[in-house]
């Protein structure tokens, strides 16, 4: 409760409605929980669906958008706070800094890049915040299989799977965040 939750999500409107529905449920749950949504500032796809759902229940929405995307028809203009950055790198740094937790909804290359970076930053001890992969309808199954392969082949340690929580349930995602206890990881570089 009273957390700033960063949501990474698709900006595509050409996706199956089931993904819009889960984004809407997440937005509603964030608002009901008294949390703030922090997101990439877009009005399309899962980004827009999440933000609109938060606002429908009178929740707070903070958008962080690079100036190249701060365009009518692209930006969610109803943000309670809209931060316009010079670049995508600056955008991600502000999102990382201002967020208490991270949730990845289904998305494309940008969503995956953000998710992998925030996991890597946690692995390297730049933060120790909760990360949730909302694996709705098995969307991330292949990625999670690749994570398992990385661990099996010793490119990462087995405890690296504790860097993130996987669920397909919106309520479980928020419960994990609300009850999260930071984990102490051993130094990546020591054996």
pLDDT in tens, 58-94: 999 999 999 999 999 999 999 999 999 999 999 999 9
Neighbours of 70 (CB within 10 A): 15
| pLDDT given at position 187 | 66
Average pLDDT, the chain: 95
| Model confidence at 189: pLDDT above 80 | no
| pLDDT given at position 122 | 95
| pLDDT given at position 183 | 84
CB-based contacts of 191: which residues, under 8 Å, 6+ apart?
Answer: none
Mean pLDDT along residues 88-117: 97
CA 169 to mean position of chain CA atoms: 14
| pLDDT given at position 190 | 47
Domains of the chain (ranges, CATH numbers): 4-178 (3.40.50.450)
Q: What does 69-129 look like in DSSP terms, one character per residue?
A: G--TTTB-TT-SEEEEESSHHHHHHHHHHH-SEEEEPS--HHHHHHHHHHHHHHHTTS---
Q: What percent of the chain has a predicted confidence (pLDDT) above 90?
A: 95
């Amino acid at each position: 409760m009273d957390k700033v939750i960063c949501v990474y999500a698709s900006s595509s409107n050409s996706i199956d409605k089931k993904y819009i529905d889960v984004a809407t449920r997440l937005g509603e749950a964030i608002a009901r929980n008294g949390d703030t949504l922090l997101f990439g500032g877009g009005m399309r796809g899962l980004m827009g669906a999440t933000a609109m759902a938060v606002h429908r229940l009178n929740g707070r929405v903070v958008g962080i958008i690079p100036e190249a995307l701060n365009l009518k028809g692209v930006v969610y203009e109803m943000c309670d706070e809209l931060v316009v950055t010079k670049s995508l790198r600056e955008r991600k740094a502000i999102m990382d800094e201002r967020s208490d937790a991270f949730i990845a909804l289904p998305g494309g290359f940008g969503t995956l890049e953000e998710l992998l970076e925030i996991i890597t930053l946690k692995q390297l001890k730049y933060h120790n915040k909760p990360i949730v992969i909302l694996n709705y309808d098995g969307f991330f199954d292949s990625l999670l299989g690749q994570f398992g392969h990385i661990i099996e082949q010793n490119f990462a340690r087995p405890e690296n799977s504790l860097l993130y929580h996987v669920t397909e349930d919106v309520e479980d995602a928020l419960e994990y965040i609300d009850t999260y206890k930071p984990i102490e990881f051993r130094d990546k570089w020591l054996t």
